Amino acid sequence: MDGARNWYPPASILRMIDALAYNKMNRLHIHITDSQSWPLEIPSLPLLAEKGAYGPSMTYDSATLAFIQNYGAIRGVQTYIEIDMPGHTSSIAYSYPELIAAFNIQPHWDNYAAEPASGTLKLNSSAVDSFLGTLFDDLLPRLSPYTSYFHTGGDEVNVNAYMLDDTVRANDVAILQPLMQRFVDGIHAAVRKAGLNPIVWEEMLLTWNLTLGSDVVVQSWLSDKSVVKIVRKGHKALAGNYNYWYLDCGQGQWLDFYPGTSSQQYYPFADYCSPRKNWRLMYTYDPLAGVPANMTHLVLGGEVSIWSEQTDPVNLDRQVWPRTCAAAEVLWSGAQDENGRNRSQITASPRLSEMRERLVARGIMAEPVQMPYCTQNGTQCAL
């Protein structure tokens, strides 16, 4: 759940925890900061949220975060957070501009970042090291009573940003790789000191070829091949191919395009992961596809993601539910039945419709699966 592109009141997060528990899902990963905003209050670094949040009421203080985690723990949902780094960190520049390279380059931000505003933590800076030490000393001990994990991010790092990093001045991976190794080693040491296990996005292992500790969980998102590569390197993996399990896909572009060539190039303005991932497609995804039988134990589970460029408290429930119920069944029961065939939509559809009704009865505004004609008449809507 992405709490940085759009802000969610605690009630939305608590309702998400309830829905997860109803569906036997036992983790909630909150991507709580990003380039667009820093809503997380850090008492020892108060300017982060004061200047980085969308507004003074759109923050999460320490008590609120603890309440959310405790609420989840009581319901069997372990809630952990992600502070993505070194990329996706330009919101830090509003309070500590000296820590960020390539901040908000306009109009060509896309040369330096996946999304505006561009900016990345400097990669060879003692000031960054000191800042992160203060951040982790404050935050991690408060998280550790409620979770075993802390997500340190690592996705979509654009090497061009380091051309504008006065501590590096290079975009050559051969130069950057040892600096990235040092950076990740430092933050993971802090995570371990707090008694937590680090989680990273797959790029840290598969793109940057970092040496990671055996305790590090690697989260895949780019393809089925990623899971196979991760486990073949001996690491624990989380599956979640965006071609199947990204819930925000198919909404159309959220970027605006200038008239002319750019507009024509992107017409009719589909987003990068269109089309929408309907529940039937989600139901066909096999998190263990291609994984050797003697390595399946390394796939700890899977994750369904709702990024928030076009999702907020108004449409959150129907974006997530009941499609995520289909993923929950795949994760608990496997993508294939006892005969080795993909599980049947014909039998799943009425069960999913019933589950949707249960969610609605419990205050979760899940969207409909089919019209009542189909749910009342057996298999008459099967083709």
The model's confidence at residue 286, banded by pLDDT at 50, 70 and 90, is very high
**Is the pLDDT score of 339 beyond 90?**
no
Q: What pLDDT was estimated at residue 74?
A: 98
Percent of the chain with pLDDT over 70: 100
CA gap 124, 35 in Å, rounded: 20
As a whole number of angstroms, the distance between CA 268 and CA 358 comes to 37
Q: What tokens appear for 267 in the block?
A: 């017409």
Let me know the angle formed at the C-alpha of 30 by 29 and 34, rounded to the nearest 5 degrees: 130
pLDDT of residue 337: 85
Confidence of residue 350 (pLDDT cuts 50, 70, 90): very high
Region 101-114: mean pLDDT is 96
Structure confidence by residue, pLDDT tens digits, 144-182: 999 999 999 999 999 999 999 999 999 999 999 999 999
Lowest mean pLDDT segment, chosen from 120-124, 175-179, 300-304, 341-345: 341-345
pLDDT at 343: 87
What does the pLDDT read at residue 47? 98
CB 141 within 8 A of CB 66: no
Residue 284: which pLDDT band, with cuts at 50, 70 and 90? very high
Q: What's residue 83's pLDDT?
A: 98
Please name which of 348, 317, 331 lies closest in space to residue 19, comparing C-alpha atoms: 317
Assess contact for 3 and 64: CB atoms under 8 A: no
pLDDT band of residue 296 (cuts 50, 70, 90) is very high
The pLDDT value given to residue 341: 86
Whether 262 has a pLDDT exceeding 80, the answer reads no
* 3-state SS track over the chain: CECCCCCCCHHHHHHHHHHHHHCCCCEEEEEEECCCCCCECCCCCCHHHHHHCCCCCCCECHHHHHHHHHHHHHCCCEEEEEECCCCCCHHHHHCCHHHEECCCCCCCHHHCCCCCCCCEECCCCHHHHHHHHHHHHHHHHHHCCCCCEEECCCCCCCHHHHHHCCCCCCCCHHHHHHHHHHHHHHHHHHHHHCCCEEEEECHHHHCCCCCCCCCCEEECCCCHHHHHHHHHCCCEEEECCHHHHECCCCCCCCCCCCCCHHHHHHCCCCCCCCCCCCHHHHHHCCCCCCCCHHHHHHEEEECCECCCCCCCCCCHHHHHCCHHHHHHHHHHHCCECCCCCECCHHHHHHHHHHHHHHHHHCCCCCCCCCCHHHHHCCCCCCC
Per-residue confidence (pLDDT) for residue 340, from 0 to 100? 85
Question: Can you tell me the mean pLDDT for 211-224?
Answer: 97
pLDDT tens readout for residues 45-64: 999 999 999 999 999 999 99
Asked if residue 315 has pLDDT above 90, the reply is yes
> How far apart (Å, rounded) are the C-alpha atoms in residues 249 and 103?
27
- In this prediction, residue 131 has a pLDDT band, given cuts at 50, 70 and 90, of very high
Name all domains of the chain by residue range, CATH numbers in brackets.
10-341 (3.20.20.80)
Range from 224-233, 254-263, 315-324 carrying the lowest mean pLDDT: 254-263
| CA 207/CA 139 separation, integer angstroms | 29
Please give the pLDDT value at position 29.
98
User: What phi and psi values does residue 155 have, to the nearest 5 degrees?
Assistant: -90, 160
Residues in the chain: 383
**Does the pLDDT at position 40 exceed 90?**
yes
- Whole-prediction pTM: 0.96
pLDDT of residue 276: 98
pLDDT over 90 for what percent of the chain? 94
Note the pLDDT of residue 378. Answer: 84
Catalytic residue ranges:
156
Per-residue pLDDT tens digits for 248-261: 999 999 999 998 87
Pick from 199, 73, 186, 191: which is nearest to 139 by CA? Answer: 191
With a cut of 90, say whether residue 9 has pLDDT above it. yes
Mean pLDDT of the chain: 97
